[in-house]
Structure 1
Amino acid sequence: MLEQSPPCSEIIEDIEDLISIQDIGPKERYSSRKNVKVQVKKKNINNLPIPVPIGDNIPGIQKIYIKTWGCAHNSSDSEYMAGQLAAYGYKLVEDKTLADLWLLNSCTVKNPSEDHFRNEIETGKKQGKHIVLAGCVPQGAPKSSFVQGLSIIGVQQIDRVVEVVEETLRGNTVKLLGTKKENGKKSGGASLLLPKVRRNPLIEIIAINTGCLNQCTYCKTKHARGDLGSYPPEEIIARAKLAFEEGVVEIWLTSEDTGTYGRDIGTSLPELLWKLVEVLFL
């Protein structure tokens, strides 16, 4: 199927800016630790409950609730983030009232989904939940008033969701936005070979590219996903083979501009499909 698819916490512009020699966590896998930028969070003028920092017992007992709006690409991103969190030891729950942290993956194509996203943020705040925002809304409009003071993970940074969740649970606010590049050009994003927790164990959603070639005046997704960035065919094929080995019987190829796949890397959608047929069905 093809689809077009405690009171004074710290605010840290990028999780790589956080330095703490006492902390033991996934951020220690990264070597960049400079240019620290920290500022005190403003007073709680709305009198909403302030999420209580978990402390150093991370992970192991924390429960994560993931909510997704939008296209198949967003669903795939949520499955990848769920997979990494589960692999690191967090427990995924369907009942949001039981969760320690809400991971909200947004869609900006239509106003109703963005309104639901905003309402869910307010609900989480009223319940005193730790909140991490993902998806196209905070990526495309990070200065929006309703996302201020909350952790944000960019659409091309989902491979670092464990770090963002960990620091958010500790009481920090992290903004991790950026664009991945290979050889000076925009890439598809996080690796397709990351662990996954599929909502439907029989269906694998593979994002073959991100962004698009157009600049439609009515569409805000361009501001979030940016220009076209295609995944190499070999990485897509490797993901498909892995999925079938894990019991998947159906594959969806998705993106924001599926028909333009490969134009930025010298290939095309028909070529990709023939390669998939050769590897998977012959």
Structure 2
Amino acid sequence: MRSSTVAFYTLGCKVNQGETDALAGLFKARQYQTVSFEERSDVYVINTCTVTQLSDRKSRQMIRRAQRRNPEAVVVVTGCYAQVSPEEVQAIEGVDIIIGTDQRQKIVELVEDYKKVGEQIHAVEDIRSVTLFEEFPAHADISKARASIKIQDGCNLFCTYCIIPYARGPVRSRPPESVIKEAKRLIQEGFRELVITGIHLGAYGTDLNVDLGDLVKKLCRLEGLHRLRIGSIEPQEFTPSLLEALTEPTICPHFHIPLQSGSDKILKSMGRRYNRQDFIDICTKIMSMLPDGAITTDIIVGFPGESEADFLQTEELCRTLQLAGVHVFPFSPRRGTKAATFPGQIDRKKKEERVQRIQEISRHLSYRYSQKFLGQRKEVLLEEKVDRHWTGHTDNYLKVFVPVGEDFLEDHTLRGSLQIIELKTVREDGSLEGVLSVL
């Protein structure tokens, strides 16, 4: 008798990616075999995103693709889009089970229930009433080079453009002892790098009266851990304790700090809790502590009321601070958020033009940052094969391509290993090529 198969498709952020890995572990524990989403499967799980209108549309497309691939399959829709717009999801032909962003530890039981009853299951709960962090074991495929630990969920900030508090509910933190236990297990499984993630990571511990900086220090000192990478942190949330933790030798010196706009007027309209100078101060502080560290950021262009002068302040700030890269997004009005009804909405063409201008700056910044490391030997975590190269990342998240001979190309033990690479050239996109210095 063959095992039942399950396929996953994930949209959105790294937290979603980690949650999909955990869901895969729940199915694996029940003897399901994971297959590619492109294959015919008995069960399809679409982990959705709702940050933009494009995310919603892409989620719907993947739901329909799963249904077409196998009309007999059980189609499960979970994640943020399912949480915020369950009625829309429910109306899509072929959707069998709808789960939001909580109680997902029940996903396999719900699939088994559906197989018996054959009636659509609606399991979306009021996320605003959830007060406890949902723990289900992280599952990290050893074929991946690094493992993520989700330590926090929810957000209390309610920025005027953001739907996430409505999709994820209030801040809930994972108890420190649970985080440490999970980290030890993943280290024992052979992972050299761990990534701590959360929807609003800097708010970790505010509901438990514990400190993120203290947790980071404890994780850094775990025996066998070579790298600890920290997810996105808001500018105002770098406490003295967290800043002190950043000097731990295990910490990866790459920090993603959302800016969103270089204009104080726009930041205030967005409902952000910092101003332009606050962002400059924290970046300057971190750069003085870790001169070779990388700081990347997020920018939203075309926010309602953003003038050309406001946008120029954003451009100037990105250049002046010499960031290592920028992720840029056009403002997308989300139903239910304040900014969706603000006057001064920017037309699509102008938003696209501003996206392109920031992308050009980002390419220049990434290239210039990478150039600093030419000729150096850096430790690279090898992750996957691309053509006749192994690729991976340095601790400061430089992407490196390493050409290798046929023997090493097929050496699967290289995945997840740390190798010393001499960096030789910078590619146009800011990634580097290097050669194995020690193998």
TM-score of the two chains, using structure 2 as the length reference: 0.46
Partner of 1:36 in structure 2? Answer: none
**1:172 correspondence with 2:116:** no
Equivalent residues in 2 for 1:102-251 (5 A)? 102-127=44-69, 128=71, 129-144=73-88, 147=91, 150-170=96-116, 171-178=118-125, 186-191=131-136, 194=137, 196-198=139-141, 200-251=143-194
SS at match of 1:263: coil
SS at match of 2:87: coil
Counterpart residue type for residue 104 of structure 2: I
Counterpart residue type for residue 152 of structure 1: I
TM-superposed CA distance for 1:159, in Å, is 1.1
Kept in 1: contact 2:5–2:32 (CA 8 A): yes
Kept in 2: contact 1:82–1:92 (CA 8 A): yes
Partner of 2:375 in structure 1? Answer: none
Higher relative contact order (CA 8 A, sep 6+): 1
Kept in 1: contact 2:130–2:169 (CA 8 A): no
Kept in 1: contact 2:18–2:150 (CA 8 A): yes
Partner of 1:100 in structure 2? Answer: 42
Q: How many residues align?
A: 220
For 2:145 and 2:89, how far apart are their aligned partners in 1? Answer: 39
Segments of 5+ residues of structure 1 without an aligned counterpart are 1-56
Segments of 5+ residues of structure 2 without an aligned counterpart are 226-249, 251-439
SS at match of 1:92: strand
Relative to structure 1, is the Cα distance of residues 276 and 138 closer, same or farther in structure 2, using a 3 angstrom cutoff? Answer: same
Kept in 2: contact 1:156–1:190 (CA 8 A): no
Relative to structure 1, is the Cα distance of residues 147 and 217 closer, same or farther in structure 2, using a 3 angstrom cutoff? Answer: farther
TM-superposed CA distance for 1:201, in Å, is 3.0
| CA deviations over 1:61-93 (Å, ceiling 9, x no partner) | 321111111111111111111011011011110
SS at match of 2:187: helix
| CA deviations over 1:147-166 (Å, ceiling 9, x no partner) | 55531123221211111222
Which structure's CA Rg is the greater one? 2
For 2:91 and 2:82, how far apart are their aligned partners in 1? Answer: 7
Decide which structure has greater strand share. 2
RMSD: 2.5
Kept in 2: contact 1:100–1:130 (CA 8 A): yes
SS at match of 1:97: coil
Kept in 1: contact 2:152–2:172 (CA 8 A): yes
Relative to structure 1, is the Cα distance of residues 188 and 180 closer, same or farther in structure 2, using a 3 angstrom cutoff? Answer: farther
Partner of 1:25 in structure 2? Answer: none
Counterpart residue type for residue 188 of structure 2: E
For 2:29 and 2:130, how far apart are their aligned partners in 1? Answer: 31
Kept in 2: contact 1:167–1:173 (CA 8 A): no
SS at match of 1:279: coil
SS at match of 1:144: helix
For 1:185 and 1:82, how far apart are their aligned partners in 2? Answer: 23
Partner of 2:28 in structure 1? Answer: 86
TM-superposed CA distance for 1:141, in Å, is 1.8
Counterpart residue type for residue 19 of structure 2: D
Partner of 1:267 in structure 2? Answer: 210
SS at match of 1:76: helix
TM-superposed CA distance for 1:278, in Å, is 3.3
